Amino acid sequence: MALPIGQPAPDFKLFDSEKNEVKLSDLQGNNVVLLFFPLAFTGTCTTELCSIRDSYNIYEGLNAKVLGISVDSLFSLDKFKKEQNLNFPLLSDFNKEASVAYNSLYEDFAFGMKGVSKRAAFVIDKAGNVQYSEVLDKASDLPNFDAIKETLATLN
């Protein structure tokens, strides 16, 4: 279930692939796109994040910071980020706290895995409120990037 529009976004404190602590509340004053994804090195996740990489200038032009979040370790995310030349931070939600707070966690996933992030997208405005919320049940589906960009355009 997606988070309600207009409510304050749940804060989190996670580490990125460069071992830097990232707190959502520290990004207030910026529009933020949160992209939860199931697992690094998988086909749809690679497609999703590389499409963001290839159009990152559009998100910058819309005054947005993009953050990718998965339950992978920060070490796996570092390797994935380098291999794919990703130009935005990847955050490790290894303890699954952010995924739970954003209602974006599969209890059961493929191959018997439990506790994997669902593919989800959120736009958080400069005041820290949710302005777009999409949680996908099928891991093979991609977020609606056009709707994300349209939401960002209304915030500027």
**Residues labelled as active-site residues:** 45
Helix (H, G, I), strand (E, B) or coil at 156: coil
Q: How far is CA 33 from CA 14, 48, 63, 152, in A?
A: 15, 13, 10, 9
Torsional class of 63: left (φ above 0), alpha (ψ -120 to 50), beta (otherwise): left
Burial of 110 (0-12, 13-18, 19+ CB in 10 A): exposed
Contact yes or no for 108/152 (Cβ under 8 A): no
Helix (H, G, I), strand (E, B) or coil at 10: coil
- Exposure string for 117-132, b = 16+ CB within 10 A, e = fewer: bbbbbbbbbeebebbb
